Structure 1
Amino acid sequence: MTNIFLNPKHLIFIFGFISCSLTSTAQFTKPNILFIAVDDFRAELGHFEKSTIITPNLDKLASQGVSFSNHFVQVPTCGASRAAFLTGKRPGRIAELGNNIMQDEFSVKQETELPETFIHHLRRNGYYTVGMGKISHSVDGYVYGYEEEVSDKKELPYSWDEFLFDPGKWGTGWNAFFAYANGENRQSMNRQVKPYEAAAVDDLGYPDGLTTQLAIKKLRELKNSSQPFFLGVGLFKPHLPFTAPQKYWDLYDKDQISLAKNPKKPQNVAKASLQESGEFNGYELGEEKAGLDNVLSDEYARKIKHAYYAAASYSDAQIGLILDELKALELDQNTIVIVWGDHGWHLGEQQVWGKHTLFENALNSALIFKIPASNISKIDDSIVESVDIYPTLMELTGIEKPAGLDGKSFAKLLKSEESQTGNVAYSYYKNGISLRTDRYRLTQYFRGAEPTIELYDHQKDPLESINIAAENPEIVANLMPLWQEGNTGLYNKK
């Protein structure tokens, strides 16, 4: 056996070569993506100023990344919001404002050169894609009605390598979505249910706990994958019914939960701009009914807000379990983490309990990004849109984005302490188009009910309580060209 003496200079060269090679390899390894969608999760988080909601796990994630306080969705309803987010495109047809756009159209289309979603695009570019829970509108990936048997038709036929869901004792995805702890659901009880529940169960007593365990198990499998992965996890809560284990209710002193600061209908606004809280009232054993001619009592309003908070804290706990596993597996150093709310929810603001309006409370939802190898930590008040997430992910992964996206990448905001002014967001619903700038919200409706133009000054009236369009025609005129840029022809009017 020959002994070889290596000069220290040679050792430095060899180790330096190995180090550079490893660094180079790491630089060209695409990051994994952990995406967590939370249903009906408005932009109210524990780390935001004056917030009383308890979200310690999201607060921790935000301390390691960027939490956007001014993220706006394109459509304030589940299926349409997710369709816009997944495609990076604003709605251009009335069908694209409905919950069923993906099940009616995406599920029956042939695969084309244009990817059906950004997940499909990631898959075409080397990612192994796994979904579970509500990522598109379907809660288990299949197309069928709330009270129908599960079908074998996939809502997104080309996006997933795997789609998983555990409906537990509820039997089907949609039963699980509207679940109560005893195994019943809104459908099985013919809506003779309350819009809330505090049950003496552990986290596995509701479906989101089961989804979380699936996510943890799948992360352990994906650790050894030879491909970068996209794992999408869709949590149901705090979507109605506001159900959660009792321990999450117990986090709160109900008497300390503040009521909406703007519980009355806005001034100078038609009722047509609002909504009668029909989804909320559909839980027919609720003690009181909400509506534009009926304000809930303070006691009941506080109870419902308590229920929403408890459900949100339950989801926060599940997110914490998933993120803890990501770290334990040492995957966190090369994984982009995103938490996204598909739209907001009025908790009594503007006399509304629900989504389905073009007001701030329905359009502003949670968005947190954490990217690998970044020490940026901030709450960013730059305006960003859900359609921006697609091109942002493409930039972060080094994948060329398809042509025709409406969104713009905000990747630079994730790598800088600075915020960005001058961004705008567009949203669509109720025969209207809404523009949000740094200072104003301008909404124009295509309808008979007057007024059809609403203007809110967020410097002076962040609660959107007074429509000032009539007395500020110059501001409206100055904003209209910018508003027009978001007019996709949806209502066939210029």
Structure 2
Amino acid sequence: MQEKPLFLFCLIFLFAINSYGQKEPRRPNILFIAVDDLRNELGAYEGSQAITPHLDSLAGAGSLFTHHFVQVPTCGASRHAILTGRRPYKPIHLSNRAIEVELSNKPKGTTPESFIHQFKMSGYHTVGIGKIAHSADGLVYGYEEEPSAKKELPHSWSELIFDAGKWKTGWNAFFAYANGENRQSLNKQVKPYEAGNTDDNGYPDGLTTQLAISKLKELKESNKPFLMGVGFFKPHLPFNSPKKYWDLYDRDSIKISDNPNLPENVSKESLNSNGEFNQYALGDEKATVEKSVSDNYAKKLRHAYLAAVSYIDAQVGKLLQHLKETGLDKNTIIVVWGDHGWHLGDQRMWGKHTLFDNALKSTLIIKSPLIDHQQREISTLVESVDIYPTLLEMANIETSSKLDGKSLVPLLNSQPMSKPEVAYSYFKGGISMRTPHYRLTKFFSDEQPVIELYDHTESSEERRNVAAQNPKLVQRLMPLWEKGNTGLYSQPE
């Protein structure tokens, strides 16, 4: 007799008796936490310098994915992929405007616009707080414009709320400094870091935490299952956080990148010009691909990034503590997702916007109360598009939507996945494929070299493009790479 997955047995214990004496499944709540620019930089990850006790504890109780890769290394496009469960199929899917263009103007139909909409259509109360799609507060407007009433995801949220505090608008809050100013108001004449003499609520993510806890208290009294999305801004630039989180670290002991040079035989298409980072005009030094910043400045920037990560860890800790105190933790699935990675001087770059592991590998933690013996650390390669079908299976929701990902529930139950161990990513005229042993990238451009191959059996740091030395290996890998070719670059702009 075939053994049923443990996941199904756990559902037996999630039944309640309604007023008519009939058994009804108690569907799990979902707390989806999106953290901007959070690479594999938690204490739970090997080699990390981050001090993150709350997220480490969550990872120890749930599943920490050590090889999770996003579809696109930029905020809006990465979020479009996870929300829709689809890879990029059109050039706009690589843009921060992907959600605005593809979802914001669509009438309500039978096909959900996002996994959040699918849960809402299935009877969930959905609450959005902060940056879940691309906009800081879920509304469509420019960085320096007044907020509009137009929602990025017009059909997904039962409630869309945000506290912009003294910064007054979502985008001002996103680029906030402790004195109430922001990058826009100061015409970019700002530093890319700040140690604020303030408490947690002196920056917007503290207000987001406060708002989320208040809303959880309301949802506790409801009999309706909920999906709450909480989007934290840090550690996105500027690396600003209360000084007490800077004080957790001894800067002299912070290690800088041990891979600070450009990869050998690299294509110019692969490189990030550091444009986002250099927008902060009062930075101590400019970052260029021609020359690394000084070691002292690299340490300062890493210190700032780590402090911002610790600040977010504290906010997540407050949410987790509230879930425990109210008993909501017993029936709430928790997902913590970083929307992409970040180069902290690695390969002489500062930022995302590349097809290297540093920009594509990000944090993923899933904790489910439905699984008694959850796999603690999962090294299998997974993708952001896998999260949509995973949540549906956990909540026992069916969909007619076409999804590119596969459910991760087997991995959570210590069982193998039914798909090849491969992750596909897209950006700057290139498609990149990651396998357990290699990263193969092909660019659709005239810039040479067109093919890059990085051997992860030799080094995990992608220091040297070895495609020219391994033509037979490239030829062997290309059919698998081709399976990730969505025709993206054959589509008109």
| TM, length-normalised to structure 1 | 0.94
Matched, 1:302 2:299: yes
Counterpart Cα distance in 2 of 1:420 and 1:256: 44
Change (3 A) 1:20 1:423: closer
Counterpart Cα distance in 1 of 2:329 and 2:416: 24
Q: Which of 484, 487, 493 does residue 485 from structure 2 map onto?
A: 487
Matched, 1:428 2:423: no
Residues 381-402 of structure 1, C-alpha deviations (whole Å, 9 max, x = no match) = 1111000000011111100133
What root-mean-square deviation, in Å, do the aligned CA atoms of Structure 1 and Structure 2 show? Answer: 1.7
Percent of aligned pairs sharing the same letter: 60
Does the CA contact (< 8 Å) of 2:14 and 2:27 recur in 1? no
Paired position in structure 1 for 2:96: 99
Shift of residue 492, structure 1, vs aligned partner: 1.1
Counterpart Cα distance in 2 of 1:99 and 1:433: 18
Worse overlay, 366-375 or 203-212: 366-375
SS at match of 2:119: helix
1:335-414 equivalences under 5 Å are 335-373=332-370, 374-414=372-412
Counterpart Cα distance in 1 of 2:293 and 2:248: 24
Paired position in structure 2 for 1:119: 116
SS at match of 1:63: helix
Does the CA contact (< 8 Å) of 1:422 and 1:438 recur in 2? no
1:161-310 equivalences under 5 Å are 161-310=158-307
Does the CA contact (< 8 Å) of 2:29 and 2:332 recur in 1? yes
Residues 159-186 of structure 1, C-alpha deviations (whole Å, 9 max, x = no match) = 0000110000001000000000000000
Does the CA contact (< 8 Å) of 1:338 and 1:369 recur in 2? yes
Shift of residue 472, structure 1, vs aligned partner: 0.6
Amino acid at match of 1:272: E
SS at match of 1:36: strand
Counterpart Cα distance in 2 of 1:20 and 1:166: 35
SS at match of 2:73: coil
Paired position in structure 2 for 1:14: none
Shift of residue 226, structure 1, vs aligned partner: 1.7
Shift of residue 106, structure 1, vs aligned partner: 1.2
Larger Rg computed on CA atoms? 1
Counterpart Cα distance in 1 of 2:401 and 2:144: 39
Does the CA contact (< 8 Å) of 1:131 and 1:164 recur in 2? yes
1:119-158 equivalences under 5 Å are 119-158=116-155
SS at match of 2:440: strand
Shift of residue 280, structure 1, vs aligned partner: 0.4
Q: How many residues align?
A: 475
Paired position in structure 1 for 2:53: 56
Counterpart Cα distance in 2 of 1:420 and 1:39: 30
Does the CA contact (< 8 Å) of 2:422 and 2:435 recur in 1? yes
Amino acid at match of 1:459: T
Matched, 1:327 2:324: yes
Does the CA contact (< 8 Å) of 2:375 and 2:411 recur in 1? no
Counterpart Cα distance in 1 of 2:323 and 2:117: 23
Matched, 1:42 2:32: no
| TM, length-normalised to structure 2 | 0.94
Residues 244-283 of structure 1, C-alpha deviations (whole Å, 9 max, x = no match) = 0000000001111111111000001022211110100000
Counterpart Cα distance in 2 of 1:445 and 1:359: 13
Counterpart Cα distance in 2 of 1:475 and 1:248: 47
TM superposition outliers: structure 1 runs of 4+ over 3 Å: 19-27, 417-422
Counterpart Cα distance in 1 of 2:419 and 2:379: 9
Shift of residue 423, structure 1, vs aligned partner: 1.1
Amino acid at match of 1:451: P
Shift of residue 420, structure 1, vs aligned partner: 8.9
Does the CA contact (< 8 Å) of 2:14 and 2:26 recur in 1? no
Residues 318-358 of structure 1, C-alpha deviations (whole Å, 9 max, x = no match) = 00000100111100010000000000000001110000000
Paired position in structure 2 for 1:67: 64
Does the CA contact (< 8 Å) of 1:123 and 1:129 recur in 2? yes
SS at match of 1:478: helix
Counterpart Cα distance in 1 of 2:358 and 2:147: 34
SS at match of 2:365: strand
Change (3 A) 1:106 1:436: same
Shift of residue 43, structure 1, vs aligned partner: 1.2
SS at match of 1:491: helix
Paired position in structure 2 for 1:13: none
Residues 138-159 of structure 1, C-alpha deviations (whole Å, 9 max, x = no match) = 1111110000011111110000
Shift of residue 294, structure 1, vs aligned partner: 1.9
Counterpart Cα distance in 1 of 2:88 and 2:377: 29
Residues 422-461 of structure 1, C-alpha deviations (whole Å, 9 max, x = no match) = 4110000010000001111100001111001011111111
Counterpart Cα distance in 2 of 1:128 and 1:444: 43
